[in-house]
A = this chain, B = another copy of it.
Amino acid sequence: MINSTFVAFEECRKGDRLPISTVIDNLVFDTNGLIPVVAQDHQSGEVLMLAWMNRVAIELTLTSGDMTYWSRSRSELWRKGDTSGHGQRLKTMRADCDGDTLLCDVEQIGAACHTGRKSCFYLQMDINSMSAAITESIPAI
């Protein structure tokens, strides 16, 4: 899965700029037209969640500043927070070296996780005890 366009970007130096359309046109979408997106809290650095975008979601996110994903369960565009009130404002969007993942720094309003926890990653493996531990309770309302 060599992405020759992104290979050509590798030698670029800090501060070099490319047309954003060239980058988006050459992102690698999976067979469903989706790319994984990691959302990270722009202040704490905490990784909040991973969700998916299609091309339209990327463009909506960039132009509106509201993180907008593709819901695989509902098969529709999903502006984060529309039902929960827990939206995410985009701070920065970055692509990785081979153009098959996006990383977004976001300002998270409320909780990222549908359970009410700040982050979706609250189940930690512990090989020594052969168990997995819950690292955060659902906050009291």
Interface residues of A (CB under 8 A from B): 1-2, 9-23, 36, 38, 40, 44-47, 49-50, 62-63, 72-73, 92-98, 101, 103, 113-115, 117, 120-127, 129-138
**Assembled-state Cα–Cα distance A97/B12 (Å):** 38
State which of B13, B115, B132 has its C-beta within 8 Å of the C-beta of A134: B13
Copies of this chain present in the complex amount to 2
- Find out whether the CB atom of A113 lies under 8 angstroms from the CB atom of B132: no
- Find out whether the CB atom of B49 lies under 8 angstroms from the CB atom of A125: no
- Find out whether the CB atom of A131 lies under 8 angstroms from the CB atom of B18: yes
Q: A38-B50, A123-B9 are in contact. Are A133 and B97 (CB under 8 A)?
A: no
Which residues of the other chain, B, contact A45 by a CB distance below 8 angstroms?
44-46
